[in-house]
């Protein structure tokens, strides 16, 4: 598959070159060359020790052609995707089908800020895109390089100084069609000083064929700016997602990321924060509910580069049946990052003998005046608590679900929108097989 | 209504209950007293349906039917309630959510409509008033960081909400100061009627000054060795348990 992908790039290089400057083309080319040398990561690679891509790279995937708009036949009716959106909040909406923009399902804007697609931004704002594209992803592994080489479409947000985006931005990536499909999506999000935005992101596959989305996101969060990003990973059982999100934060900025992984075949999240200005704050929360043979892998990394920054990380995992979880949390406190406050917690429940979790905190601290705490736990549901609930008349299944929800609670406590919370509790309830619509 | 017939139970192959016989009718309050390790908490757990115990022989009948094969939730649906000696702390579930879920599960099992949010809240406020509880209680995580007194008050609050037919209070007085004891006892007394019954398990006679029992039983080595009226509790308070232990030898 590596050779097919590289051939695909060289075949389409003219299309890529036409869409942007020579400088970008040479970046794409060097990214593909890196990918050609390294190939897909294997379990011999420390970063991929517990997550094998072997099965993921075997299907005969379709690679959607670059810069080709969606044709009529690929249209999807709104009713087919409605259920994947949080419907009762007023939102901007950006929908992609097999990595291509669907204008008739989307509501974008250029009025006070740009909420549109990277595909159109190449033409509309070439200077902005070129000054930000691939700035945060140069040194990352082969999947990121592959994406840098091939990706051209995804979410584009640019918010000017001191502007607040007035409503959440929902972005939905749909996979469909009658062949396996491999999508490269790329988002570029630029929040200038003092601005703020909120994103709700979801990937969903409508086909029975294998789908794989390899996503890369670059987020630039200016001083005093704020981003809240909720990723709902509740895909069908033959859909896989590898996602690298790189967040660059300046002075006094805040980034909050919630990753709720309840469905999909293989999910690998790389979530990296660089705290480059004083007083920046990164908050990340994860909730993973694994069942069947699912794999949910979280690799997070926080680089504390400037002093007086804080990072707060709380990941919860509940693994049932033959599912597997991986958590690797890296915190690097660089030499100048005095007065750093870093908190990391990973707690897991294992509900079956076949389920596994590999959890590894990794802290490297080069400054001397810092406060870092971390911990991880692996356990089972508390039998005494279960008896207590059941003795009050709550049936076994509901009692277990309630305890799991209680366990998961602090991973979703910061999500404020009531309708998003309802959506979340429905997703979690569906996963646990109980009606939880009023539980949150 | 509740009848325990020659009940033998063990945990980890150690026999704890050694032939308990007890019959409780509606409108009655039975006190069960006894020294540490006599089997008091085992008895209440076994009645509530804790699956950590093995029933060797005997039966527990509720309104004439055996409940031994019923899971704890089904016993609760029939109207059985255990006020825990050590209520479990569950961070992430609020008191109100817990009680709402429990009450509606019980209503559902009885074929009744579930109670909506606002009548539920109204009912909670009424009951809390009797127990002199603060409104803020409802939004706190279940028992998390509660003082001993708050935990016990919360148990009685749940009992008031669920209105069980048969309530077992397992050492509800332990960890309570005298004021809290009075409030909790008032809460229990307010619920007493000829449509329910209580088992009050306690070490000390003190609680029985406030919740006056119709019968007092002494449990020793997993067996009821003495039964009497409320005066038996007073005698135990004066003389301790030693004379009973001696009588048994």
* pLDDT value of residue A436: 62
B70-105 pLDDT, tens digit per residue, is 999 999 999 999 999 999 999 988 899 899 999 999
CB contact under 8 A, B76 and A406: no
Q: Among the listed ranges A72-81, A395-404, B24-33, B235-244, which one has the minimum average pLDDT value?
A: A72-81
Q: Tell whether A2 is within 8 A of chain B (Cβ).
A: no
DSSP H or E segment with residue B127:
helix B117-130
On whether any CB of chain A is under 8 Å from the CB of B98, the answer is yes
For A305-316, the pLDDT digits (tens) are 999 999 999 999
Tokens of A147: 């994406």
Q: Which of A201, A249, A245, A246 is nearest to A224 (CA)?
A: A249
A285 pLDDT above the threshold of 90: yes
Q: What is the ipTM score, two decimals?
A: 0.96
* Inter-chain CB proximity A384 and B98 less than 8 Å: no
Contact of A153 with A185, CB cutoff 8 Å: yes
CB-based contacts of B177: which residues, under 8 Å, 6+ apart?
B149
Total structural domains in chain B? Answer: 1
Provide the token pair at A279. 């007083």
For A440, residues 6+ apart whose C-beta sits below 8 A from its C-beta are: A405, A412, A421, A422, A424, A425
What's the CA angle centered on A386, arms A286 and B120, to 5 degrees? 85
CA separation for the pair B151, B134 (Å, rounded): 13
Model pTM above 0.95: no
Residues of B in Cβ contact (< 8 Å) with A410: 92
Q: B168, B48 in Cβ contact below 8 A? A: yes
Encoded tokens for A58: 């075997």
Residue B121 distance to chain A (closest CA, Å):
15
What is the pLDDT at residue A9? 95
**Confidence band (pLDDT; 50, 70, 90) for A439?**
low
Residue A175 near residue A206 (C-beta atoms within 8 A) = yes
Question: Look-up: residue for tokens 């939102």?
Answer: A91
Residue range(s) defining the domain that contains residue B71: 2-248
Quick: pLDDT tens for B100-151: 999 999 999 999 998 988 999 999 999 999 888 888 899 899 999 998 889 9
Mean pLDDT of A45-66: 92
Rg (chain A; Cα; Å): 21
The closest CB to that of B73, out of A384, A394, A403, belongs to A394
Query: Other CB atoms closer than 10 Å to residue A321's CB: what's the count?
Result: 14
pLDDT tens by residue, A105-160:
899 999 999 999 999 999 899 999 999 999 999 889 999 999 999 999 999 999 99
CATH number assigned to the domain comprising residue B136 = 3.40.50.300
Which residues lie below 8 Å from residue A182, measured CB to CB, with a gap of 6+?
A61, A62, A63, A211, A212, A213, A214
State residue A78's pLDDT score.
85
The pLDDT, as a whole number, for residue A419 is 78
Residue A437 has pLDDT above 70, yes or no: no
Q: How buried is residue A195: exposed, middle or buried, by Cβ count under 10 Å (0-12/13-18/19+)?
A: buried
Q: Do B73 and A408 touch (CB under 8 A)?
A: no
Least CB-CB distance to A391: which of B82, B91, B93? B82
CA–CA dist A180, A194 (Å, integer): 43
Q: Are the C-beta atoms of residues A121 and A114 closer than 8 Å to each other?
A: yes
What residue ranges do the domains of chain A occupy? 2-396, 397-440
CB A201, CB A232: distance < 8 Å: yes
- At A140, phi and psi to the nearest 5? -85, 170
Q: Report the residue of B48, B105, B158, B162 to disrupt the A interface, i.e. the one with the largest count of A CBs within 10 Å.
A: B105
């Amino acid at each position: 598959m590596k050779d097919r992908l590289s051939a695909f790039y060289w075949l389409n290089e003219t299309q890529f070159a036409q869409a942007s400057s020579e400088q970008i083309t040479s970046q794409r080319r060097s990214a593909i060359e890196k990918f050609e040398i390294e190939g897909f990561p294997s379990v011999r690679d420390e970063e991929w020790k517990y997550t094998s891509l072997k099965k993921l790279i075997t299907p005969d995937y379709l690679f959607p052609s670059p810069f080709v708009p969606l044709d009529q036949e690929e249209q999807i009716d709104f009713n087919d995707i409605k259920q994947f959106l949080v419907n009762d909040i007023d939102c901007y909406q950006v929908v992609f089908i097999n990595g291509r923009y669907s204008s008739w399902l989307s509501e974008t804007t250029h009025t006070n800020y740009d909420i549109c697609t990277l595909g159109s931004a190449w033409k509309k704002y070439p200077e902005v895109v070129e000054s930000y594209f691939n700035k945060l992803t140069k040194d990352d592994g082969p999947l990121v390089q592959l994406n840098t080489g091939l990706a051209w479409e995804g979410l584009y947000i640019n918010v000017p100084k001191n502007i607040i985006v007035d409503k959440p931005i929902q972005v939905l990536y749909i996979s469909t069609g009658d062949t396996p499909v491999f999508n490269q999506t790329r988002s570029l999000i630029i929040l200038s000083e003092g601005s703020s935005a909120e994103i709700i992101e979801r990937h969903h596959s409508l086909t029975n064929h294998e789908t794989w989305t390899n996503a890369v996101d670059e987020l630039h969060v200016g001083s005093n700016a704020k981003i809240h990003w909720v990723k709902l990973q509740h895909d069908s059982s033959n859909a896989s997602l590898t996602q690298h999100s790189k967040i660059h934060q300046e002075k006094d900025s805040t980034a909050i990321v919630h990753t709720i992984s309840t469905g999909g075949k293989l999910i690998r999240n790389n979530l990296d924060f660089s705290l480059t200005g004083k007083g920046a704050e990164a908050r990340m929360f994860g909730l993973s509910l694994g069942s069947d043979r699912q794999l949910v892998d979280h690799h997070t990394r926080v680089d504390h580069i400037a002093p007086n920054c804080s990072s707060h990380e709380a990941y919860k995992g509940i693994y049932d049946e033959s599912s597997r979880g991986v958590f690797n949390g890296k915190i690097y406190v660089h030499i100048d990052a005095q007065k750093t406050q870093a908190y990391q917690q990973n707690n897991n429940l294992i509900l079956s003998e076949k389920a596994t979790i590999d959890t590894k905190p990794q802290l490297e601290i080069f400054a001397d005046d810092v406060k870092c705490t971390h911990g991880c736990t692996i356990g089972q549901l508390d039998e005494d608590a279960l008896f207590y609930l059941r003795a009050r008349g709550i049936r076994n299944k509901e009692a277990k679900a309630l305890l799991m929800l209680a366990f998961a609670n602090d991973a979703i406590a910061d999500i404020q929108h009531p309708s998003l919370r309802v959506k979340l509790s429905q997703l979690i309830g569906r996963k646990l097989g109980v009606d939880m619509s009023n539980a949150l | 209504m509740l009848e325990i017939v020659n009940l033998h139970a063990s945990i980890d192959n150690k026999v704890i209950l050694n032939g308990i016989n007890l019959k409780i009718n509606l409108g009655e309050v039975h006190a069960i007293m006894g020294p540490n390790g006599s089997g008091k908490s085992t008895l209440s757990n076994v009645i509530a349906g804790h699956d950590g115990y093995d029933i060797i022989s005997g039966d527990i009948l509720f309104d004439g039917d055996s409940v031994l094969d019923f899971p704890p939730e089904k016993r609760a649906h029939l109207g059985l309630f255990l006020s825990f000696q050590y209520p479990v702390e569950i961070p992430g579930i609020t008191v109100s959510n817990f009680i709402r879920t429990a009450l509606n599960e019980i209503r559902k099992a009885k074929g009744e409509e579930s109670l909506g949010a606002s009548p539920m809240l109204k009912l909670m406020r009424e009951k809390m008033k009797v127990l002199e509880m603060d409104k803020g209680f409802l939004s706190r995580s279940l028992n998390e960081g509660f003082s001993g007194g708050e935990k016990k008050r919360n148990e009685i609050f749940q009992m008031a909400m669920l209105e069980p037919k048969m309530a077992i209070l397992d050492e509800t007085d332990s960890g309570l100061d005298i004021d809290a004891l009075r409030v909790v006892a008032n809460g229990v007394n307010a619920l007493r009627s000829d449509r329910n019954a209580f088992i009050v398990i306690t070490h000390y006679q003190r609680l029985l000054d406030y919740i006056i029992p119709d019968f007092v039983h002494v449990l020793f080595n997993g067996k009821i060795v003495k039964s009497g009226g409320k005066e038996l509790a007073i005698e135990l308070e004066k003389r301790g348990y030693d004379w009973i232990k001696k009588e048994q030898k």
